[in-house]
Amino acid sequence: MRRIVAFILFMSLFCNVPAEMINSTDFEALDCVPATRDLWKAEGFLPGTWDNGLADRTMVDDSAVAVSGTKSLRVLYPKGKYGTSDNGAQVELKFDPRREAFASYWLRFSEDFSFGSASEGGKLPGLTGGDNCSGGSACDGTNGFSARLMWRTGGSLVLYLYHMDKPDKYGEDYELAYPDGSAVIVERGEWIHVAERVRINTDGESYDGEVEIWVNGVRTLLLDSLRFTSNGDMVDKFYISTFHGGSSADWAPENDCHIWFDDIRIGTVYGDVAFRECSKPDLGADRALCAEETVVLKTEEKKGERYSWSKDGSLIGNGASLQLSEAGLYVLTVDSAWCSKRDTVVVSEKILTDLGNDRSICSSSFLKISSNVQGEGLSYAWEKDGAPAGEGECLMVKDAGVYRLTVSAEGCEPSADEVKLSSGLLSVADVNGAVGEPFTLKVTDGGSNYGWYSEEGDLLNVGAEYDAVLEEGRHLLFVKDMDAFSGSVGMKKLTVAKSYTSAALDRKMKFEVFRFLSVDSVSVYLVDEQDVVIRVLDSDETVLYQTESKRLKAGVNRIAVNAELLPGIYFMDAYGSTGKLRHSNELDDVKFPYEIEGVISLLGSNLTWIDNKPWYLFFYDWKVSAGNNCAAAPVFVEGKADTDVRNVKESGLKVFPSLTNDFTKVCGLSGSEIIEVFDELGNLIRCKIDKEADCATVSFEYAGVYFLKISDKGMTQIFKIVKV
pTM for the whole thing?
A: 0.54
Most confident listed range (83-97, 107-121, 313-327, 347-361):
83-97
- C-alpha to C-alpha distance for 106 and 708, rounded to whole angstroms: 61
Instruction: Report how far residue 241's alpha carbon sits from residue 583's, in angstroms, rounded to the nearest whole number.
Output: 30
The percentage of the chain sitting over the pLDDT mark of 70, rounded to a whole number, equals 91
Write the Ramachandran bin of 258: left for phi over 0, alpha for psi from -120 to 50, otherwise beta: beta
Superfamily of structural domain 425-640: PHR domain (2.60.120.820)
Cβ atoms within 10 Å of 539's Cβ, excluding its own:
11
SS3 at position 686? coil
- CB-count exposure of residue 550 (10 Å: 0-12, 13-18, 19+): exposed
* CATH for the 3-273 domain, from 3.20.20.70, 2.60.120.200, 3.40.640.10, 3.40.50.800: 2.60.120.200
The 8-class DSSP code of residue 589 comes to G
294, pLDDT greater than 90: no
Do 287-348 and 425-640 have matching folds?
A: no
2.40.160.10, 2.60.40.10, 2.60.40.180, 2.40.50.140: CATH of 359-423: 2.60.40.10
* Contact (CB, 8 A) for 91 and 132: no
DSSP codes of every residue in 32-49: SS---HHHHHHTT-EEEE
Q: State pLDDT tens for residues 566-623.
A: 999 999 999 888 878 888 767 777 889 999 888 999 999 999 988 888 888 888 889 8
- How many alpha carbons lie under 13 Å from residue 536 in its C-beta half-sphere? 22
Residue 343 has pLDDT above 90, yes or no: no
> How far is residue 84's CA from residue 75's CA, in Å, rounded to a whole number?
13
Q: Residues near 522 by Cβ (< 8 Å), separated by ≥ 6?
A: 490, 534, 558, 559, 561, 572, 619, 620, 621, 622, 623
**Residues 501, 579 contacting (CB under 8 angstroms):** yes
Average pLDDT estimate for 516-540: 91
- Does residue 358 register a pLDDT over 90? yes
Q: Give 541-564 pLDDT, tens digit per residue.
A: 999 999 999 988 877 788 999 999
pLDDT at residue 222 in the model: 92
The model's confidence at residue 14, banded by pLDDT at 50, 70 and 90, is very low
Closest listed residue to residue 683, CA positions, set 474, 458, 488 = 474
Mean pLDDT check: name the lowest of 13-17, 21-25, 408-412.
13-17
* pLDDT at 418 exceeding the cut of 70: yes
On whether the CB atoms of residues 306 and 335 are closer than 8 A, the answer is: yes
Cα gap 614→154, rounded to integer Å: 22
Q: What pLDDT, on the 0 to 100 scale, is given for residue 340?
A: 66
Alpha helices by DSSP H, 191-291: 270-273
For the stretch 68-100, pLDDT in tens is 777 899 999 999 999 999 999 999 999 999 999
Residue 486: alpha-carbon gap to chain centroid: 16
Could you tell me if 90 and 37 are in contact, meaning their C-beta atoms sit under 8 angstroms apart?
Answer: no
The full 3-state SS of 125-180, as one line of letters, equals EEEEECCCCCCCCCCCCCCCEEEEEEECHHHEEEEEEECCCCCCCCCEEEECECCC
Measured in Å, how far apart are the chain's first and last C-alpha atoms? 77
Residue 612 pLDDT: 87
**Band (711; pLDDT cuts 50, 70, 90):** confident
Choice between 234 and 288, residue whose per-residue pLDDT is larger: 234
Compute the distance between CA of residue 175 and CA of residue 152 in angstroms, rounded to an integer.
Answer: 10
Phi, psi torsion values for 249, nearest 5 degrees = -65, -15
**What does the chain come to in residues?**
724
* Helix (H/G/I), strand (E/B), else coil: 249: helix
Calculate mean pLDDT across residues 647-670. Answer: 69
Superfamily of segment(s) 287-348: Immunoglobulins (2.60.40.10)
CA 241 to the chain's CA centroid: 30
Instruction: Tell me what pLDDT residue 645 has.
Output: 34
What residue spans define the domains of the chain? 3-273, 287-348, 359-423, 425-640, 642-723
Q: Measuring CA to CA, how many Å separate 270 from each of 14, 192, 409, 595, 710?
A: 9, 17, 53, 39, 65
The string of DSSP letters for 497-561 reads SS-B--S-SS--EEEEESSSEEEEEEEEEESSSEEEEEEEEETT--EEEEEEEEEEPSEEEEEEE
Please report the pLDDT score of residue 648 as a whole number.
Answer: 37
Task: Write down the mean pLDDT value for the chain.
Answer: 87
Indicate whether 715 pLDDT > 80: no
- CA nearest neighbour of 558 among 493, 629, 487: 493
Q: Which fold has domain 642-723?
A: Immunoglobulin-like (2.60.40)
